[in-house]
Amino acid sequence: MKYFKKYPIFFVAMFALLALFAAGVAYDVVLFKKDKDALAKLNRTMRQYDETLATDPTQPSIDASQKNIKELEKHLLDLEKDLTRESEHIFKPLTAEEGFQLREVLRGMVNTWRAEAKKRDIYVPDDMDFGYKKYVAPNADSPKDAALPVIWKQVCVLDYINQKLFNCKSQESPMSIINVQREILPEEGIKENPRNTRRVRANSRNSSGAIRGDNFKIDENITARKPGSLDTLAYRFVFAGHTDVLRRFLNQLKDFDAMLVVRSIDVKPADLSLIAPPNSEEALEEEISDAADAFASTDSEEGDENAPAAPVIDENKVPVVTDNISEFTVVIEYVEVVKDAPKKGADKKAGPEGKADSANSKKQ
């Protein structure tokens, strides 16, 4: 204690230095801990960087991918041009500007198809409207103005397929067009009745009911339609004739001058009451001929009692079918690639801005 009193300045300075030393040690411990944490964070960041560098493409990979994408786009464009080389002839310019004008154009097209079929000796029912009864029937409603372009596109494709179907008629083979059906387009604004939908599905399962009506809905299991990527126009053709008629029709469709895809083919024996008029001249001549043969055979039996007996026909013998007419149901889709489809992300991004603009306009 006497030294403290004798040298107070020395001891005060020594205690101050000891306090500074303790504070320095504590500060060094804190800095060491921070340095350790920073080093650990740096190591984690470096590992993430190495992993990202290993998984993410480098600039050469990005350049190669972009080059590959351009080549694929060019190849897709070449394929589309090759598959749509008849587009200029298929799609004619739309002259109608309002619904009632297109209605009259449709009536003219239907009459032209009927006349062309009859000119080629193809039987077509008098009430055949090729799927457009809604617009061509007397006192029919006009299509909506917003639906004019898509309806006209559908009509142009149908006209193109009809010409191929008409070309299948030969002089040797009879041919009859029983029905042509089309899908109702969303732009037409026709709401589906659930009761009618169930009836259409039931008719599709029933072979005799599937040919009724002007419209149908293609089975989702066979369609190529994919929203945002592929758009299609579906048709169902029901016609009758020999097998060579179907063969010629399919051979014309396989040319791929348009993006037409056959989705299903059904074959069954034809109902003769549906493929020929009941009171046609040929049927009348056949009835007269049968009646004349019957009278001739009766007179010969009465005039000659000693005539030899008619040969006994074996009922178990299978007859040979010499004129087998079948009914063919062919579903065809016209496929179109959807370009510049709107992106969902862009719509979501534009959503809040649109809401903000509308809110600002309301405030103003």
Residue 229 CA: distances (Å) to CA of 85, 339, 352: 20, 8, 27
Would you call 334 helix, strand, or coil by DSSP?
Answer: strand
> Which residues have CB under 8 Å from 264's CB, separation 6+?
219, 222, 329, 330, 331
CA separation for the pair 78, 256 (Å, rounded): 14
Domain check: are 3 and 146 in the same one? Answer: no
Q: Both 42 and 156 in a single domain?
A: no
38 shares a domain with 181: no
Burial class (CB in 10 A: 0-12, 13-18, 19+), 150: middle
CA 265 to each of CA 41, 332, 339: distance values in angstroms, whole numbers, following the listed order: 67, 9, 30
From the number of C-beta atoms within 10 Å of its C-beta (0-12, 13-18, 19+), residue 140 rates as middle
The answer on 99 and 44 residing in a single domain is no
> Which domain, by its residues, includes 37?
1-50
User: Is residue 39 domain-shared with residue 95, that is, in the same domain?
Assistant: no
Same domain, 37 and 117: no
Q: 10 Å Cβ neighbour count for 255?
A: 11
SS3 269: strand
- What's 217's domain CATH number? 3.30.70.60
**Looking at this protein, which amino acid is placed at residue 190?**
I
Residue 105, in any domain of the structure: yes
pLDDT at res. 329: 94
Query: Is residue 24 exposed (0-12), middle (13-18) or buried (19+ Cβ within 10 Å)?
Result: exposed
Instruction: Verify that 45 and 90 share a domain, yes or no.
Output: no
What pLDDT score was predicted for residue 277? 60
pTM: 0.62
Please indicate, yes or no, whether residues 105 and 34 belong to a single structural domain of this protein: no
Total domain count, the chain: 2
Q: Is residue 116 part of a domain?
A: yes
Q: Is residue 241 part of a domain?
A: yes
Query: Within a domain: residue 64?
Result: no
Going by C-alpha positions, the residue among 179, 102, 183 that lies closest to residue 146 is 102
- 179 in Cβ contact with 328 (< 8 Å): no
Asked if 145 and 98 count as a contact pair (C-beta separation under 8 A), the reply is: yes
- pLDDT value, residue 193: 61
What residue type is assigned to position 218 of the chain? I
| 276 φ/ψ sector (left φ>0, alpha ψ -120 to 50, else beta) | beta
Domain membership of residue 195 (yes or no) is yes
Q: Which position has the token pair 């739309």?
A: 94
Do 4 and 142 belong to one domain? no
For residues 154 and 234, what is the distance between their CA atoms, to the nearest angstrom? 9
Q: 1 with 127, same domain?
A: no
Alpha-carbon span 164 to 185, nearest angstrom: 23
pLDDT at residue number 237:
95
Q: In three state form, how does the secondary structure of 197-226 look?
A: HHHHHHHHHCCCCCCCCCECCCCCCCCCCE
What digits encode the pLDDT tens for the residues 5-16? 777 787 788 888
Count Cβ atoms below 10 Å from residue 334 Cβ, excluding itself: 22
How does DSSP assign 151-213, residue by residue? HHHHHHHHHHHHHHHHTT--SSS-EEEEEEEEPPPGGG-PPPPHHHHHHHHHHHHSTTTTT-S
Same domain, 42 and 94: no
What pLDDT, on a 0 to 100 scale, did the predictor assign at position 224? 86
Classify residue 55: in a domain, yes or no.
Answer: no
| Low-confidence residues of the chain: pLDDT under 50 | 204-210, 278-281, 283-285, 287-288, 290-292, 294-305, 307-308, 310-322, 344-364
Distance CA 160, CA 14 (A): 109
103 and 44 in a single domain? The answer is: no
Q: What is the dihedral of CA 129, 134, 136, 141, to 10 degrees?
A: 180
Residue 67 lies in a domain: no
Whether 70 is covered by a domain: the verdict is no
